[in-house]
């Protein structure tokens, strides 16, 4: 019997348990994996996992020996390869690479597995399984259309249509709301950005890359303090400066994401000017048409633009207390009341309503740690 990549006690314990042994069985179709997770009464048995364990031989064949031609993404934590299983299914194989020690690599692997193994939603990338032979791999459905970032910023293709941008905003809001409130334990993603939002064949957005995610008990209402990791330009001020993280950290990043899909500009451009610095004057004086990607011309819906810019302006507020929850964001994006009185801030807070990178003097720059699972 071949040697498995099982060095730490935590890995051995996890993969020797009866529930994990069942993951080697095929459990349902991709469609069933897409259904939202429902809270099961305590009296009912825990449902079987819908993912399975793959062999290294399967991964080696699928990726043509992890050939460089199949490498579609690389980040601080992992490399992602396109692969094709024997039955023709196209997959994304995430191979963990970052580790000071084997124990740390295994901890990172189990942390992400413990997150993605318990989520199921149309707007979250579908997890298919893992491989623990020789190295540590996570396997997902492959997103043939790539990421929102690659579609927005590809100079060699037509600009992403407004209706697709709006669809992306709505779907991402639904996915984030599910992570925050629809799971048995709430999940804080911590790295929401356009390159981590993948697009399915019908342009349905799917949140991916849970390498930085925190899985917290649903009854825990306190903020957590975490190492500052993520993507420069998308970090909430309380996280960037103090490492404080909660759901409002994701809300802030979602606001930046909204501005990016409206404008077609990256969170930080080549001149190191932040998207927030550029957008703030237009949000303040109401000239929101000037935020729209110039490549679109007049081909956008003004009512949808008003709704998206209103949502973005709430999400990027400096004080996390005054940002909406994703439940409130979802209500707004699906047609909820945009009354200014409903979202009016206290007078003493208005001077610091918005925050951006230019408000910092001498802060370090966190490095991105993500890798895309789309082409």
Residues in binding site = 94
d(CA 108, CA 336): 39
Which string of b and e fits 349-364 if b means at least 16 CB within 10 Å? eeeebbbbbeeeeeee
**Could you tell me if 258 and 193 are in contact, meaning their C-beta atoms sit under 8 angstroms apart?**
no
- The interaxial angle of helices 102-116 and 9-16, nearest 10 deg, is 40
**Could you tell me if 85 and 91 are in contact, meaning their C-beta atoms sit under 8 angstroms apart?**
yes
**Could you tell me if 4 and 21 are in contact, meaning their C-beta atoms sit under 8 angstroms apart?**
no
d(CA 99, CA 104): 6
Compute and round to an integer the Cα radius of gyration of the chain: 21
Per-residue DSSP letter, 39: P
Per-residue DSSP letter, 344: P
Catalytic residue among 133, 191, 250, 356: 191
Residues in binding site for ATP = 94
Residues 305, 264, 375, 189, CA torsion sign: negative
User: Which of these, 57, 261, 291, 292, lies nearest to 148 by C-alpha position?
Assistant: 261
Per-residue DSSP letters for 276-315? HHHHHHHHHHT-GGGGS-GGGTT-S-HHHHHHHHHHHHHH
User: Which of these, 324, 315, 325, 328, lies nearest to 355 by C-alpha position?
Assistant: 315
Per-residue DSSP letter, 317: B
For residue 45, give both structure tokens. Answer: 């048995």
Contacts of 356 (CB under 8 A, 6+ apart): 274, 276, 277, 280
269 in catalytic set: no
Catalytic residues: 191
């Amino acid at each position: 019997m071949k040697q498995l990549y099982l060095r730490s006690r935590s890995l051995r314990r996890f993969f020797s348990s009866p529930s994990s042994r069942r993951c080697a069985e095929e459990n349902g179709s991709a469609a069933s994996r897409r259904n939202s997770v429902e809270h099961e009464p305590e009296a009912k048995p825990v449902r079987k996992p819908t993912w399975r364990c793959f062999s290294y031989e399967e991964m080696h064949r699928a990726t043509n020996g992890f050939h460089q031609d199949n490498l579609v993404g690389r980040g601080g934590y992992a490399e992602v390869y396109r692969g094709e299983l024997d039955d023709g299914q196209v997959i994304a194989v995430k191979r963990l690479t970052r580790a000071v020690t084997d124990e740390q690599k295994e901890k990172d692997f189990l942390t992400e597995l413990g997150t993605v193994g318990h989520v199921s939603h149309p707007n979250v990338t579908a997890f298919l399984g893992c491989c623990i032979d020789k190295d540590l791999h996570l396997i997902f459905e492959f997103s043939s259309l790539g990421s929102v970032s690659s579609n927005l910023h590809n100079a060699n293709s037509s600009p992403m249509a407004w209706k697709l941008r709006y669809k992306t905003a709505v779907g991402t809001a639904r996915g984030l709301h599910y992570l925050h409130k629809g799971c048995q334990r709430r999940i804080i993603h911590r790295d929401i950005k356009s390159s981590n939002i993948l697009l399915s064949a019908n342009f349905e957005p799917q949140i991916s890359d849970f390498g930085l995610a925190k899985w917290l008990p649903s009854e825990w209402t306190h903020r957590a303090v975490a190492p500052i990791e993520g993507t420069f330009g998308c970090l909430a001020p309380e996280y960037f400066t103090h490492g404080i993280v909660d759901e409002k950290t994701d809300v802030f990043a979602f606001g930046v994401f909204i501005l990016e899909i409206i404008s077609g500009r990256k969170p930080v451009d080549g001149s190191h000017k932040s998207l927030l610095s550029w957008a703030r004057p237009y949000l303040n004086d109401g000239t929101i048409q000037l935020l729209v990607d110039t490549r679109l011309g007049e081909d956008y819906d003004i009512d949808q633009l008003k709704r998206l810019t209103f949502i973005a302006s709430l999400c990027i507020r400096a004080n996390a207390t005054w940002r909406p929850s994703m439940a409130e964001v979802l209500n707004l994006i699906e047609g909820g009341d945009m009354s200014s009185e409903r979202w009016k801030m206290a007078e003493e807070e208005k001077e610091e309503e918005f925050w951006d990178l230019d408000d910092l003097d001498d802060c370090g720059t966190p490095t991105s740690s993500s890798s895309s699972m789309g082409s």
